[in-house]
Homo-oligomer: A and B are copies of this chain.
Amino acid sequence: MDFSFDTRTQELVERVTAFMDEHVYPAEETFEHELAQLEDRFAWTQAPVMQRLRATAKEQGLWNFFLPGDTGGLGAGLSNLEYAPIAEITGRSGHLGPAAFNCAAPDTGNMEVLHMFGTPEQKERWLTPLLEGSIRSAFAMTEPDVASSDATNIATSIVRDGDEYVLNGRKWWITGAVNPDCEIFIVMGKTDPEASRHRQQSMILVPRDAPGVEIVRPMHVLGYDDHEHGGHAEMRFTDVRVPASNLIGEEGAGFAVAQARLGPGRIHHCMRAIGVAERSIELMCRRVDSRVAFGRTLSQQGVIREWIAEARVAVEQLRLLVLKTAWLMDTVGNRGAHTEIQAIKIATPKVVQEIVDRAIQAHGAGGLSQDFPLAASLAGIRTLRLADGPDEVHKNSLAKAEIARHTTAG
């Protein structure tokens, strides 16, 4: 057992940290202003500072860290465990960090899907420009009319018609989709409602410009429209026709592909959330040391100190759990890491939400405002407790396995 990073990771951590210090943090305010002045405030890819950041990072080879294994020169080829600490650092500046290195969701997950399951044609047409960073993508699974945590509820239909598939359905919370540069959607729907529970669904590639694809409106999260990363669209697909060759994998493979997409995504999300927690702790410490009430700095108040101590203790535990999960993914694979992948989803958002909430409280009313990144962080973290299924669904499933482990065969 060894808790130190290997040399390569350590060096990469240092390079990325230096890039963040030199380029990313100083750009935060500029990015916000530039977005406000764009004709389409959701077109974040067009903000000059974002384009500069991405060009510089690419030039320095700080690019596509997320893609594991042999990538044929397309990415850094890091393992999950090697990428995890990088993800944490980029998460400290949530609007800029991940995108600067072409490591922002949902593109990362979509690229993985194409990398693992795409045909050579699909890869050339969509994966290459995504890896180059010249287009963006979205992943359309959640639906407004049903509890989407139960995949069998999905109602969007994908019907074969000759050489084409025809899509009909409504989706919402399609992150990134409001950005006009989002050119391609991976859409989950049902090809066979009569098949067995987990063979009904398929995934298919739908270009933005296909007739019948419609962005209905941007969804808000606690007042934010999240235009900084392309918003969350409600969408309608009406008799949308795409070539049959746009199917990802075979018919009925949708659920399996979705599962394969989940594991690394969870690790990324959780590590970035830990970055948010770290930055919140840092801001909290600085704030409380600079404010005086009733004759003492806030940093001398016992209750404030308790918050800081509990935050530190919680984050150390979370990080280790996520890193171990990444290590399991690398060594025994998605299936062997199943419990841990559930565990990090259950543990991380809740703990980080509490840390950010307390950092806000320690800031006074300013903490809720646009003057600090805390309020936006709180909104972002809050969504993670619902993203790819509410925590409660995962707890239920994890517990079932735990009970079985203690009560069967032994």
Contact = CB atoms under 8 A, between A and B. Distances in A.
A281 interface: yes
A393 B316 contact: no
B324 A366 contact: no
Interface string A256-275: 00000000000000000000
Given A223-B225, A313-B346, A375-B223, A364 B148 contact: yes
Q: Which secondary structure characterizes the binding site on chain A?
A: helix
A39 B104 CA distance: 38
Interface stretch (A24-32, A116-124, A376-384): A376-384
Interface in A132-160: 142, 144, 146-150, 153
A409 interface: no
Contact of A173 (B223, B304, B365, B400): B365
A184 interface: no
B309 A402 contact: yes
A392 to B, nearest CB: 5
A288 interface: yes
B386 A368 contact: yes
Nearest to A367: B386
Nearest to A150: B293
Contacts of A245: none
Contacts of A323: 1, 3
A87 interface: no
A9 to B, nearest CB: 8
How many of these chains are in the complex?
A: 4
Interface string A267-310: 00000000000000110011011011110001101111111111
Contacts of A288: 403
B285 A407 contact: yes
Q: By CB atoms of chain B within 10 A, which of A3, A221, A391 has the most?
A: A3
A320 interface: yes
Interface string A155-177: 00000000000000000110000
A387 B365 CA distance: 8
A201 to B, nearest CB: 16
A193 interface: no
Interface string A1-12: 111111001000
A369 B1 contact: no
Contact of A340 (B316, B366, B378): B316
A343 interface: yes
Nearest to A391: B361
A406 interface: yes
B285 A366 contact: no
A285 B223 contact: no
A71 interface: no
A317 interface: yes
A226 to B, nearest CB: 9
A396 interface: yes
A37 interface: no
A328 B3 contact: yes
Contacts of A4: 1, 331
A309 to B, nearest CB: 4
Given A1-B2, A312-B343, A399 B305 contact: yes
15 contacts: A3-B324, A4-B331, A147-B291, A147-B293, A173-B365, A221-B223, A222-B368, A223-B225, A223-B375, A302-B305, A303-B392, A310-B395, A312-B343, A316-B343, A365-B387
Given A1-B6, A220-B223, A364-B386, 7 more contacts: A3-B327, A148-B364, A149-B364, A221-B369, A221-B375, A302-B305, A309-B399
